[in-house]
Structure 1
Amino acid sequence: MLFGRLKVVSACLLAFGAVASIEAAQPTISQPAKFAISPPMSTVPQAGPGFSNAVLPVHPIPKAASVSGPDGALQKVSGPLVAATPGIQFDGVDDTICNCAPGDPNMAAGPNHLVQVVNTGWAVYNKAGVIAPGFPKTLGSIWTALGAPCNGQWGDPIVQYDRLADRWFLSQLGSFSAPFFECMAVSTTNDPTGSYALYSYNFGSNLPDYPKIGVWPTAQNPAYLAMYHMFQNGQTFLGTNQCAYDRTAMLAGSPTATQICFLVSGDGGFLPSDLDGPTPPPAGSPGYFLNFFDTANLHMFKLTPNFAVPANSTFVGPINIPVTAFTGSCGGFGGSCVPQTGTSTKLDSLGDRMMYRLAYTNFGTYESMVVNHDVGSGGVVGVRWYEMRDPNGTHTIFQQGTFQPDATYRWMGSIAQDKKGDIAVGYSSSSSSLHPGIRYTGRVPTDPLGTLQSEAIMFTGNGSQTGNLTRWGDYTSLRLDPADDCTFWYTNQYIPSNGSFNWHTRIGSFSMNNCTGGGGGGDFTIDAQPPSQTVVRGGTATYTVTVAPLNGFTGTVSLSLTGAPSRSTVAFNPSQITGGSGTSTLTVTLSSRTRPNTYHMTVTGTSGGLTHSVGIDIVATRTPTDTAPDDPDQ
């Protein structure tokens, strides 16, 4: 496809930190190359295998030469131990599904499920860490109904939970050679193991590398935002495609969901804004794309899509945002400099780009975005983080800091906020005396600006990555649980024992003690299996309902069911789960006149002010000899 050229309208203002407007004469507008509706993922067989000890190369982003000097944002005083309550943690998908590096671990949290994606694999869990039947699956299995090339194993995956729509979104690259594709999937219900609307978009001879996705549900022209590093023929860096996809059309399963893209020539490392919390951006808000342009300035672009008249979409920037100067990681902007114990192999820092995600929260009285990237500090690598407020107005850097309290390297971070404005950051850690591990820290609003509390260890790795295999992570993901807007879920990779192509992933939760109603105050999850039962009318279907505690929850959960066919008999045994955990047997007996159909039911658990639900189906059928009339009320 052809990309619109960018025209500098007022570049001279850039040097003085003012707004320099760059607008594309016309956006690139595309329709899906292919479209399909999948069967339920629970019934889809595995696609073909992934790789065989494949190293997926990093495509570096050209940046201006890094400068050296003291970091004026370096946190010089250690705070108290992070005031957070750990929740549960468990192993996620590992390298046996990929046989490749890096792992690309990221995840999303819904009301009742966690979905994790890694390079060429994905899995669905409940919040007790129980994996759904039939998972993990290869990534290409999602797009089986769409066919080639999306049904292959390509990687660079992203998963999102679209909270305001109660749907799931997954994506991966569509090929390693021209023509290049991006593959997308949007669930047709709130069940991540159910069916999906499947899309592929053709990028022609330009590789859309390192895609990052944000959910942007504005009142007008809501979109899924996307960022791609564009490489001509997969080799020569062109710049960054900043795109918007028609979210309304995708949620409706429309085969004509429009893609609108603008190209920023010669620059990269951007992230798209991504909503956290229950409040959407104000009406008329553009989508934001942010990167660090050099060692003292961020650049932000604003994309306002118009899906009714795509050619009228607007794209403005760069808006220059000065920050405290920093030094690039690994003596420049990235490279392999992170040491591990027991090996001379050093790991990639990927310090030439922002680290996933650009997490946006609308607190009502103000809007806030948080983001992080790797920097060089004190001879090691640390985490530089920012909180920006009023992004569509004064775009103020409210606070910033560099967290590098000792000689341990910290990198591959992910950052988010809870409903109280507490900020949390998760990241990898390693040194010449430590195996790579997983740590996190955070802050509360009353802490001094630009500071984080002392870190906690989420998981200690037992091995180092050897064999000159430098590729690590590529990105990680810290997510806010929409069930309470307090609990954070984090996923990252580790090595169980010295070796190569043997990475594992870890999924863990914690919440800041300042945030009540979340992990710190106790909560529960609810699940029901199997997700669907087929029963001859007049017969009985049985389900097992499981309640699991989070962070010390010991309350009583009362169970109820809605959506059963009329005149059915419903019973829970027991009707309440005491002590915070346990199982109940749900029986649903259909009447002899139930109309043959699929009925969507909801199991709800309630404990005080806490309520969680899970959907199940019952499919009513009749025998060939059954001639009784159907119930007229159904």
Structure 2
Amino acid sequence: MKLKHYFFVVIAIVFGIQANAQQQGVAGPVDSGILADPVYVPSIAEQLRNGTFVPADNTPTEGRPKRQYGNRIVPGKGSVGVDPVLQTEAPTRQSNPPLLTFEADISQATPSDPTGAVGPNHYLAAWNSAFRIFDKSGNPLTPEASLATIFPGNAIGDPIMIYDQMADRFLITEFDANPNGFNVAVSTGPDPVNDGWHVYTTGFGTGQFPDYTKFSVWPDGYYVTANIGTRRVFAVEREKMINGESAQFQSFQLGGISTSGFYSPQGFHHTAGSHPEPGNFNIVYLQDDAWSGVADDHLKIWTINVDWETPGNSTISTAQEITTADFISVFDGGSFANLSQPSGPAIDALQATIMNQAQFRQFDGYNSVVFNFVVDTDPTAGELAGVRWYELRQTASGQPWSIFQEGTYTTPTAGRHAFSGSMAMDIYGNIGMAYSSVSTSEMISIRYTGRLQGDAPGTMTFAEGLLAQSTANSPSTRFADYVHLTVDPVTDRNFWHIAEYFNPNRRDVVGVFNLENALPANDVAIVDILPESGALTATEDITITIENYGTTTQTTIPVTYSIDGGVPVAEIYTGSIPAGGTDTYTFTVQADLSIPNHLYRIETNANLVGDNFTDNDYYAENVRNVEILSAGDLQFENAELFVTSTDNKNFEITLRTTYDDVLQFSVYDINGKQLVFNNLVNEGNKFTYSLDMSYVASGVYMIKLGNSTIEKSAKIIVK
């Protein structure tokens, strides 16, 4: 008999949770609720076949004005003088020429706000209200598509393209104005052309227009910030969204934050490599001593721990404060017209902004995150924009962050600005950074630089490379609010960047580069683990994929794995892997992964003797045992479970199934106290029960349904 998954059903009424101190130094969520069930949207390929595809609307449009909630810059207050960590040494390494450049679009929107994400076989590029899918040679695989192709009836704009490497899925997001909130689409598979989409368009309210959204991927959620006056960060239930199920959301107040009037914090985004542990998600924002309420330049970092089972137990910490070298992030008193071109208006420097994205990577023995923002490097000689960049490290998840290195980068050409940067790390810990540049004598260009992992701290050591040069000036002060650099998940070395330039009108250009002029001779890393989440047993094979990132063939590699921090299993891979090649190895000792719904953490190490770069020897994944009913157990074959409510207290529960015996039904509160117990008798393959919850307080309750052999759980949230 073919067995079916039992899907957990979440029925909820949105209810508010007031922020209050749970313990010293933390607060709870300010809001919590359920997104409406997603709409399934067919693949782009299917829409092109059936005539429902919505082409991009290239009517010229003007972007919404930047929103400010009162300028909090105090004239005459703040740091002065030359930037103390300004890089003065000339780069010592020659940049490789770009591997690839191509234009993603000719934008009719001002600004175009480009964003893009590279996956195993595709590159997704988006701008303002449209997107297009390319292969990794830059060839278009689809026409230019309106966002309404994915989000029916809505193409309002500000999309963000994301590849979720942990799930092998793509995300497309945009904001919504009616009502104010976010739209999120998750692909049903790794092929954005031929796979469909689970689209969440309602239930994710923000109260105010969610300008300048920034999304981040973390194991326990998709997190988003936006330029809204309530200064909140939002979390949505990632595992449910990947499966196309009803998903919860929670929002948190960033306590103690100061802004310039423009609110732009950034969450840490998992880039590639080892999967981080769930929980301890971080948000970072710069704090400039030129702003009201800030005594000294510093970074603030908040830690969020989401509890999806009991939302009231979720917490956000008070901010960790990290003192930095002095910086000046203010241009022209906080206005949005700052950097002069050869002709035309001065363009926006994108001040007070952690640029898209703050990219997180886990190495052996430490976690690392890199990010940047624009600063005025030498106000004594007139404004000159440079990129202040950081690598922060922590010893383990949940531990404090500290500055490993900080620096300020300017271009090698006197008087030419560097701004609007985006950066990430590759498998070696090398940092790639792309940025925009302009001066009174040179039109806008897109450039890149980088550094190797062992180079002198605080310096970009690769000579400036060119991705694209404008042939015209921007006719508007508005310049792209977004740029986006992502790391190729296949090579884990190539950086893909998209940015705005003029050739001669407004366009978005994609450029690919790497820092491969110094490959190690000996370097192997584990890049994948099986099994994935699913029906797991007490005798699971653990299979790893080993990749040779060095230049010499490797064999006889000691490898280990452990489960949930237990005693490592140590064995030896005896095969042979050529330079640039991969191979798999299955451990002879199996793992017990049999606890239902348990999230296991599988940690592995490759311990090659003589490895030249050991930081990438560690790799981990989080794997959930999603239970499937087995023969002899309760079989909900073709089961449908319905829960309806008319007053948020009385629920009608109906189960239709081929099961033909007695089921036990019970309800528990969050402390495990049983409130309701009944035996339900099958009536024509249908079980129905009216659940009266009018006597209980608002909160989260668990429904258990089953028999003496097996129980299944669902959750209701009573308003």
Length-normalised TM-score, structure 1: 0.72
Which of these residues, 99, 112, 117, is aligned with residue 108 of structure 1? 117
Paired residues for 1:381-460 under 5 Å: 381-390=385-394, 392-405=398-411, 406-453=414-461, 454-460=463-469
What is the alpha-carbon distance in structure 2 between the residues aligned to residue 172 and residue 208 of structure 1? 10
Q: Which residue of 1 aligns with 2:225?
A: 227
When residues 426 and 334 of structure 1 are mapped into structure 2, their CA distance, relative to the original with a 3 A threshold, is farther
Contact 2:15 2:33 in 1 (8 A): no
What is the alpha-carbon distance in structure 2 between the residues aligned to residue 515 and residue 119 of structure 1? 38
When residues 515 and 316 of structure 1 are mapped into structure 2, their CA distance, relative to the original with a 3 A threshold, is farther
Contact 1:107 1:115 in 2 (8 A): yes
User: What amino acid is the match of 1:362?
Assistant: Q
Contact 1:168 1:192 in 2 (8 A): yes
What is the alpha-carbon distance in structure 2 between the residues aligned to residue 26 and residue 214 of structure 1? 18
Q: Which residue of 1 aligns with 2:205?
A: 203
What is the alpha-carbon distance in structure 1 between the residues aligned to residue 206 and residue 269 of structure 2? 27
Contact 2:19 2:30 in 1 (8 A): no
Task: Tell me how far 1:90 sits from its aligned partner.
Answer: 0.6
Q: Which residue of 1 aligns with 2:300?
A: 299
Q: What SS does the aligned partner of 1:311 have?
A: helix
What is the alpha-carbon distance in structure 1 between the residues aligned to residue 341 and residue 18 of structure 2? 44
What is the alpha-carbon distance in structure 2 between the residues aligned to residue 463 and residue 423 of structure 1? 31
What is the alpha-carbon distance in structure 1 between the residues aligned to residue 63 and residue 373 of structure 2? 23
Contact 2:449 2:464 in 1 (8 A): yes
Q: What SS does the aligned partner of 2:35 have?
A: coil
1:473-530 deviation digits (Å, cap 9, x = unpaired): 1010111100011011111010112xxxx3101111111025649xxxxxxxxxxxxx
Contact 1:436 1:495 in 2 (8 A): yes
User: What amino acid is the match of 2:211?
Assistant: D
- Count of paired positions: 483
Contact 2:56 2:144 in 1 (8 A): no
Task: Tell me how far 1:332 sits from its aligned partner.
Answer: 4.0
What is the alpha-carbon distance in structure 2 between the residues aligned to residue 204 and residue 443 of structure 1? 39
What is the alpha-carbon distance in structure 2 between the residues aligned to residue 2 and residue 309 of structure 1? 13
Q: Which residue of 2 aligns with 1:154?
A: 156
Which of these residues, 143, 147, 158, is aligned with residue 139 of structure 1? 147
When residues 291 and 400 of structure 1 are mapped into structure 2, their CA distance, relative to the original with a 3 A threshold, is same
When residues 229 and 413 of structure 1 are mapped into structure 2, their CA distance, relative to the original with a 3 A threshold, is same
Task: Tell me how far 1:609 sits from its aligned partner.
Answer: 4.6
Task: Tell me how far 1:74 sits from its aligned partner.
Answer: 0.7
Q: Which residue of 1 aligns with 2:265?
A: 270
Contact 1:50 1:120 in 2 (8 A): no
What is the alpha-carbon distance in structure 2 between the residues aligned to residue 607 and residue 464 of structure 1? 49
Q: What SS does the aligned partner of 2:406 have?
A: strand
1:314-366 deviation digits (Å, cap 9, x = unpaired): 1112111111011124234462111111x231101110111010000001221
What is the alpha-carbon distance in structure 2 between the residues aligned to residue 317 and residue 109 of structure 1? 35
1:441-499 deviation digits (Å, cap 9, x = unpaired): 00112221101123111111111012xx11111010111100011011111010112xx
User: What amino acid is the match of 2:405?
Assistant: Q
What is the alpha-carbon distance in structure 2 between the residues aligned to residue 322 and residue 154 of structure 1? 39
Q: Which residue of 1 aligns with 2:640?
A: none
User: What amino acid is the match of 1:225?
Assistant: Y
Contact 1:82 1:443 in 2 (8 A): no
What is the alpha-carbon distance in structure 1 between the residues aligned to residue 58 and residue 18 of structure 2? 37
Q: Which residue of 2 aligns with 1:238?
A: 230
Q: Which residue of 1 aligns with 2:135?
A: 126
Task: Tell me how far 1:43 sits from its aligned partner.
Answer: 2.9
What is the alpha-carbon distance in structure 1 between the residues aligned to residue 58 and residue 469 of structure 2? 28
Q: What SS does the aligned partner of 2:239 have?
A: helix
Q: What SS does the aligned partner of 2:331 have?
A: helix
- 2:37 aligned with 1:43, yes or no? no
Contact 1:383 1:413 in 2 (8 A): yes
The gaps in structure 2 that reach 5 residues or longer are 1-13, 48-52, 290-296, 521-576, 584-719
Contact 1:126 1:132 in 2 (8 A): yes
What is the alpha-carbon distance in structure 2 between the residues aligned to residue 48 and residue 511 of structure 1? 32
Greater Rg by CA: 2
Which of these residues, 454, 462, 467, is aligned with residue 471 of structure 2? 462
What is the alpha-carbon distance in structure 2 between the residues aligned to residue 3 and residue 383 of structure 1? 41
Task: Tell me how far 1:260 sits from its aligned partner.
Answer: 1.1
User: What amino acid is the match of 1:368?
Assistant: S
Which of these residues, 162, 165, 179, is aligned with residue 163 of structure 1? 165
Which of these residues, 481, 489, 495, is aligned with residue 488 of structure 1? 495
When residues 204 and 357 of structure 1 are mapped into structure 2, their CA distance, relative to the original with a 3 A threshold, is closer
Q: Which residue of 2 aligns with 1:538?
A: none
Task: Tell me how far 1:53 sits from its aligned partner.
Answer: 3.0
User: What amino acid is the match of 1:313?
Assistant: S
What is the alpha-carbon distance in structure 2 between the residues aligned to residue 317 and residue 284 of structure 1? 19
Contact 2:180 2:207 in 1 (8 A): yes
Q: Which residue of 1 aligns with 2:535?
A: none
Task: Tell me how far 1:4 sits from its aligned partner.
Answer: 6.1
What is the alpha-carbon distance in structure 2 between the residues aligned to residue 130 and residue 185 of structure 1? 24
1:214-248 deviation digits (Å, cap 9, x = unpaired): 1112xxxx211111222xxxxxx332x21211111
Q: Which residue of 2 aligns with 1:249?
A: 240
Q: What SS does the aligned partner of 2:316 have?
A: strand
Q: What SS does the aligned partner of 1:42 have?
A: helix
1:382-417 deviation digits (Å, cap 9, x = unpaired): 100000000732311000011124310111110101
When residues 481 and 70 of structure 1 are mapped into structure 2, their CA distance, relative to the original with a 3 A threshold, is same
Q: Which residue of 2 aligns with 1:477?
A: 484
User: What amino acid is the match of 1:224?
Assistant: Y
What is the alpha-carbon distance in structure 2 between the residues aligned to residue 116 and residue 263 of structure 1? 32
Which of these residues, 261, 265, 287, is aligned with residue 281 of structure 2? 287
The gaps in structure 1 that reach 5 residues or longer are 11-20, 145-150, 231-236, 518-605, 613-634
Q: What SS does the aligned partner of 2:359 have?
A: strand
Q: Which residue of 2 aligns with 1:27?
A: 30
What is the alpha-carbon distance in structure 2 between the residues aligned to residue 450 and residue 307 of structure 1? 40
What is the alpha-carbon distance in structure 2 between the residues aligned to residue 51 and residue 7 of structure 1? 48
Task: Tell me how far 1:67 sits from its aligned partner.
Answer: 3.3
- 2:308 aligned with 1:317, yes or no? no
Q: Which residue of 2 aligns with 1:59?
A: 67
What is the alpha-carbon distance in structure 2 between the residues aligned to residue 47 and residue 127 of structure 1? 22
Contact 1:269 1:292 in 2 (8 A): no
Report which of the two has the higher share of strand.
Answer: 1
Q: Which residue of 2 aligns with 1:184?
A: 184
User: What amino acid is the match of 1:417?
Assistant: M
When residues 250 and 82 of structure 1 are mapped into structure 2, their CA distance, relative to the original with a 3 A threshold, is farther
